[in-house]
Structure 1
Amino acid sequence: MAVDRRSFLRLTAVAGGTTALSGALWQQALAAGPAQPGPGPYGPPQAADGNGLQLPQGFTGRIVARSMQRVEGTRHVWHPAPDGGACFADGDGWIYVSNSEVPLVGGASAVRFDASGKVASASRILNGTTLNCAGGATPWDTWLSCEEHDYGLVYETDPRGRRSAVARPALGRFKHEAAASDPVRKVVYLTEDQPDGCFYRFRPATWGDLSSGTLEVLVGSGTGPVRWAEVPSPQLWFTPTRNQVGGAMRFNGGEGCYYTHGVCYFTTKGDNRVWAYDAAAGSLDIAYDDDLVTGGEPPLRGVDNVTAAASGDLYVAEDGGNMEINLITADGVVTPFLRVVGHDKSEITGPAFSPDGSRLYFSSQRGKSGFIGGTDGCTFEVTGPFRR
């Protein structure tokens, strides 16, 4: 009997098990395969508000910054094409950092909020870099801003702008997308946005100092046990990093990356998957795959940036699709959380929670116009009863 791709993937995913979805808050994750559609904990998105946000009942939203316009109450002009982002505690307030995915002048900016959530200041924290896509926060409160081109670097930046940004070539030169820090194993995971890209980890010589260390690539043949192998020439190469190690596992367009509760989750846009690397077990699994959805249309398409709430719930942004952020709960349900109406040619980027978990920030990179230069980008804040 012929087996179509969806059936084949479902069978292999079930056979591979779901151990990678484990972790302190994922004990009740899928026993029979990747996440499936179902009702979410907040109910469906309601009618759009004045900013085009469809949110669950009890949640409210606002625009905190617009590309090429001054951030309200400041003299700082917000950057075009806002992309990856993260939040950092700062005194009695917090800071949201955002990359700019444009050539030559990409960099990153930051908005500081006071204890009440009012914008207190905004500033530039990284200049003179190109196509800064996603990145990741470190446990020592710096932002890793990743360049998305073949010779791209990772830049370590200070969200408060007190120290100059520093290039970290030891993390490799490749088409960087996102980064996620694992404080238990003292490594940084990295995704690569290539159709035949790889998944990497960097082991610093000294934890907290990214100036030197070892770049490794994931080696394996699919879900289940995997291992790591050193990349011989991560900085200066004639052979790209992804082709330097035989048996390196290939991923179709690596995108977002986030570590939480012992698991590093990362997305691949080419096959619309959310992967789960169980760091303790050294095992890889699939948390979501639209080809493995049964009983209806997959709710999540165009997977991109990903973050997690303290509860363990994952929030996955869409690049295209119907401009949603989808929620994947700890018990394996995938469901739309919010939707942005009227931004059909844009993508959702940079989801990140405030330190207390009460606010979610994200951007529509190209806004309503969809202009590829991102001059119509919008950065949003959503407030509500998030599970914590």
Structure 2
Amino acid sequence: MDRRTMLRATVVGTAAVALPFTAWSAAYGAPAQNAVGPYGPLLPPDANGIQLPAGFTSTVVARSRQTVPGTSYVWHDAPDGGAVFANGTGWIYVSNSEVTAFAGGGASRILFSSSGAVVGASRILSGTNVNCAGGKTPWNTWLSCEEVSRGRVYETYPLGGAAVARLAMGRFKHEAAAADPVRKVIYLTEDESDGKFYRFVPTTWGDLSAGTLEVMRAGTATSGTFTWARVPDPDGSPLATRRQVSGAKTFNGGEGCHYADDTVWFTTKGDNRIWQVNLTAGTYELAYDDDLVNPGPAPLTGVDNITGTAGGDLYVAEDGGTMDICLITPDDKVSVFLRVTGHNGSEITGPAFTPAGDRLYFSSQRGTSGLSSGGITYCVTGPFRR
């Protein structure tokens, strides 16, 4: 049994069974290398300008400044980070809006029936600034992160409820979040050229109103061991959180973050890398580096949002590059899964799978116009590996 088969054999239904650390870490040796994708080559662009492998189709779900079809709700500008939530009758796709509060920043949701039909849409967060990425919690809330100096994390409630600022999670240029239910912590990335990698330890798991913000301490190498140190002043004023702890490891432009089975991955756009943190062993290493791809050229540049499937595949969206979503398999092969054509001034954002794993939602943040008002949100269906 090869490593990918070993991982997929541990999946029951749509939920991944936790692997022993030794199995998971062996399945992802770093860094990933260029290879033919598991779905074969991309076909010519479809009617929506998207190149997909055979068997996959795309549809447009919503467009910025236009009503979401089947609803009276106008979709927000610059759709960014996203996630999917089951709601008992179908699912909900949540999306951030990466514009200022004055321009309508915050987050929205689209409700779907069990067949995938749109049945509603509405706001879940308003009056916030440059909500970029975020993360889903095990208790079905969406952490919407402000990508501004001394930005905040807002806990929003896609299933119903008023959003709340979670100031204990720190005031810095937030990007993404990923929940670790084993260690009962939330990992956080920081989009600065000298950004840091954090974790928030709630006083009570499931309640983010209080807790301890910690930062990763490690050497300057691309692999090694690490520890966590408390950030003395999470408020970040007058001294920024990233400058408070001696020996905190620097990462160049933290972006997407994803947790699964004792491992957390996060991307750094400044150097086109994906970092893999083995939480049981207390080690970190590169899962992808575009300078180390052989044979080249590197298929993945402008690394940004990242998500994963129950079967162990990672999907990474590009900010720029050739507007791809790339796939990294558990046996360390990277390939292009889809390409959006004609959107040269945009970026791909918010990739998220439905609970069944048969639909992938994502957005082109600025569409063909290159403007925040030109965002387009899509759904891709097909025979995804699960």
Q: State the TM bucket, normalised to the shorter chain.
A: over 0.9
2:168 is paired with a residue whose SS is helix
2:27 is paired with a residue whose SS is coil
CA distance in 2: counterparts of 1:163 and 1:355, whole angstroms: 22
Gaps of 5+ in 1: 1-20
1:46 aligns with 2:43: yes
Equivalent residue for 1:175? 173
- CA distance change for structure 1 residues 314 and 98 in 2, over 3 Å: closer, same or farther? same
CA distance in 2: counterparts of 1:72 and 1:120, whole angstroms: 9
1:356 is paired with a residue whose SS is coil
Equivalent residue for 2:289? 289
Equivalent residue for 2:363? 363
What is the deviation of 1:341? Answer: 0.6
CA contact (8 A) 2:28 2:287 kept: no
CA distance in 2: counterparts of 1:201 and 1:51, whole angstroms: 39
What is the deviation of 1:280? Answer: 1.2
Q: Deviations over 1:176-230 (max 9, x none)?
A: 0000000000000000000000000000000000000000000001311100000
CA contact (8 A) 1:23 1:263 kept: no
2:26 is paired with a residue whose SS is coil
Which letter maps to 2:105?
G
Equivalent residue for 2:14? none
CA contact (8 A) 1:261 1:312 kept: no
Q: Deviations over 1:243-300 (max 9, x none)?
A: 0000000000000001012111000011100001111111111000001111220000
Q: Deviations over 1:75-104 (max 9, x none)?
A: 000000000000000112000000000011
CA distance in 1: counterparts of 2:182 and 2:110, whole angstroms: 30
Equivalent residue for 1:35? 32
CA contact (8 A) 2:150 2:236 kept: no
CA distance in 1: counterparts of 2:63 and 2:41, whole angstroms: 27
Q: 1:383 aligns with which of 371, 381, 384?
A: 381
1:102 aligns with 2:99: yes
Equivalent residue for 2:13? none
- CA distance change for structure 1 residues 22 and 327 in 2, over 3 Å: closer, same or farther? farther
1:163 aligns with 2:166: no
- CA distance change for structure 1 residues 123 and 230 in 2, over 3 Å: closer, same or farther? same
- Count residues in correspondence: 363
Q: Deviations over 1:20-78 (max 9, x none)?
A: x9675563333xx4000001111121111000111110111101000000000000000
Equivalent residue for 2:62? 65
- CA distance change for structure 1 residues 102 and 246 in 2, over 3 Å: closer, same or farther? same
What is the deviation of 1:125? Answer: 0.4
Gaps of 5+ in 2: 1-19
- CA distance change for structure 1 residues 23 and 171 in 2, over 3 Å: closer, same or farther? farther
CA distance in 1: counterparts of 2:140 and 2:28, whole angstroms: 30
Equivalent residue for 1:123? 122
